[in-house]
Amino acid sequence: MTNGDAGPHERSYRKGPERRAQILLSAMELFAERGVGASLRAIGEAIGVSHAALRYYFANRDELLVEVYRTHEARVHKAQAHEGSAGSEVSAVAMMENSAERNRSIPGLVELYATLTTDALQEQQHPATREFVQARYRRVRADLAERVRAGQRSGAIAADVDPDDAAALVVAASDGLQLQWLLDPDAVDVRRSLEVLERLLPGAR
Amino acid sequence: MTNGDAGPHERSYRKGPERRAQILLSAMELFAERGVGASLRAIGEAIGVSHAALRYYFANRDELLVEVYRTHEARVHKAQAHEGSAGSEVSAVAMMENSAERNRSIPGLVELYATLTTDALQEQQHPATREFVQARYRRVRADLAERVRAGQRSGAIAADVDPDDAAALVVAASDGLQLQWLLDPDAVDVRRSLEVLERLLPGAR
């Protein structure tokens, strides 16, 4: 808690996180418009932040990319909590449908996500990205596996489906479909394809 | 057709494709060992081919990457034709299971594939990669949709499943699961997860 009379030290302490959040927002807009390809220096130029300032907040391009994605996820979680749209009765597939629907409206986001995932495969060049992506997948799979278990308890999903196998399948389907849709929007419909999967893995009854 | 007395012109004509094939093989081995991250120049250094020679055969890094992947696919198709393992009675999911199984034994391949797909999203920077990846997805989806139709004709798959939606789903599941497996081999089993999907989309009876 701070009061209105915060001294200069406190003000600069408060300014840091705000400036950082502002940079993340500008970077997110840049990625949405022009893609993720640029270097940290080019990102700085495009969003009007000096390379030194950018480096003050983010050690390197990987860290900026991860933080932009993390910011997006935090917003989504906040919106879900507000809408009450993440209850355990929502099926694993419906969760991914909703997430894909949100990503659709943020053009650079699927590209950012694909870049993070591909970078993560290169352990030596991108160790922090790998750690973030691994942890994210584990978290998402654990959440979806819980939804599959809820479906099984209610009798909607066959008891002999392994919840962890099914969870990995649902995340994979959602990731892969969003990629195919970006490459060929007229040929691929993410929601319709996920609805095929939902026949097998419906929500709790 | 050439005879043993081929003149120097003919010999150099024959040498070109062989040398190119040799370079592709070396690049494939390099990617398997050390990943796909390197520049065209670094690739040349690692496989002992001058940058000029590399540029003679491949216009840029994208073209080399695409050609390495194309070479891999051509081999797979040849092996399938030889084994007779791609008949229309093989389910869409089983096709992807077999393909994932083969990719497992070539460590750099999933990374190469992920790199091509992510590059393809950046239309302006990687137009040729995008064209290759789009065409490949269309071809694979068309093949899998045909298998889904065969399953429907035999009564094994529900008639109201859209074959194109199902085909996109199966490719997506296979792509995404291979990525997750590479990032977390102990947590993700591609075959087991695809078997969950095969309940919904079995082969023709």
A186: closest CA of chain B, how far (Å): 11
Which candidate from A35, A110, A180 shows the least CB-CB separation from B168?
A: A180
Q: CA B63, CA B69: separation in Å to the nearest integer?
A: 10
Look at residue B3 in the predicted model and tell me its pLDDT: 43
Enumerate the residues of chain A whose CB falls inside 8 A of the CB of residue B197. Answer: 169, 197, 200
Q: Is the pLDDT confidence value at A38 over 50?
A: yes
B11: closest CA of chain A, how far (Å): 41
A6: closest CA of chain B, how far (Å): 46
Look at residue B14 in the predicted model and tell me its pLDDT: 53
Look at residue B154 in the predicted model and tell me its pLDDT: 92
Contact A169 B122 (CB under 8 A): no
ipTM of this predicted structure: 0.87
pLDDT in tens, A106-142: 768 888 999 999 999 988 889 999 999 999 999 999 9
pLDDT band at A75 (very low <50, low <70, confident <90, very high): confident
Tokens linked to B139: 């071809």
Look at residue B34 in the predicted model and tell me its pLDDT: 78
Look at residue B162 in the predicted model and tell me its pLDDT: 97
The answer to whether residues B121 and A182 touch, using CB atoms and an 8 Å cutoff, is: yes
Any idea where the domains of chain A sit in the sequence? 1-58, 65-200
Which candidate from A35, A114, A200 shows the least CB-CB separation from B199?
A: A200
Report the chain B residue with the minimal C-alpha distance to residue A132. Answer: B183
Which candidate from B35, B175, B194 shows the least CB-CB separation from A176?
A: B175
Indicate the SS3 state at residue B83: helix
Q: CA A71, CA A130: separation in Å to the nearest integer?
A: 17
Q: CA A195, CA A202: separation in Å to the nearest integer?
A: 9
Q: Does B166 touch chain A (CB under 8 A)?
A: yes
pLDDT in tens, A95-116: 898 888 888 777 688 889 999 9
CB pairs under 8 A between A and B: 158
What is B61-200's CATH number? 1.10.357
Q: Does A22 touch chain B (CB under 8 A)?
A: no
- Count of other CB atoms within 10 angstroms of residue A44: 22
Contact B173 A173 (CB under 8 A): yes
Per-residue pLDDT of chain B (205 residues; tens, 9 = 90+): 444 444 444 444 456 888 888 888 898 888 877 778 778 888 899 899 999 989 999 999 999 999 999 988 888 888 888 887 788 788 999 989 888 888 877 778 888 999 999 999 988 889 999 999 999 999 999 999 999 999 999 999 999 999 999 999 999 999 999 999 999 999 999 999 999 999 888 887 7
Q: Does A23 touch chain B (CB under 8 A)?
A: no
Report the chain B residue with the minimal C-alpha distance to residue A112. Answer: B118
CATH fold for the domain made of A65-200: Tetracycline Repressor; domain 2 (1.10.357)
Single out the residue of B79, B99, B80 nearest to residue B88, CA to CA: B80
b/e code B115-144 from CB counts within 10 Å (16+ = b): bbbbbbbbeeebeebbebbeebbeebbeeb
Q: Is the pLDDT confidence value at A14 over 90?
A: no
Which candidate from B130, B176, B193 shows the least CB-CB separation from A165?
A: B193
The number of CA neighbours under 13 Å toward the Cβ of B39 is 3
Q: CA B68, CA B88: separation in Å to the nearest integer?
A: 27
Which candidate from B168, B171, B183 shows the least CB-CB separation from A120?
A: B183
User: Between residues 36 and 55 of chain A, which touch chain B (CB distance below 8 Å)?
Assistant: 36-37
Average pLDDT on A78-86 reads 82
pLDDT band at A60 (very low <50, low <70, confident <90, very high): very high
Q: Which CATH class, in words, describes the domain spanning A1-58?
A: mainly alpha
Enumerate the residues of chain B whose CB falls inside 8 A of the CB of residue A183. Answer: 117, 120-121, 130, 133-134, 137
pLDDT band at A9 (very low <50, low <70, confident <90, very high): very low
Tokens linked to A116: 């993070």
A103: closest CA of chain B, how far (Å): 15
Which candidate from B176, B188, B192 shows the least CB-CB separation from A176?
A: B176
Single out the residue of B134, B66, B93, B144 nearest to residue A181, CA to CA: B134
Q: Does A183 touch chain B (CB under 8 A)?
A: yes
Q: Does B161 touch chain A (CB under 8 A)?
A: yes
Q: What percent of chain A is predicted at pLDDT more than 90?
A: 47
Look at residue A15 in the predicted model and tell me its pLDDT: 67
A62, A196, A199, A200, best to mutate vs chain B, most B CBs in 10 Å = A196
Look at residue B4 in the predicted model and tell me its pLDDT: 42
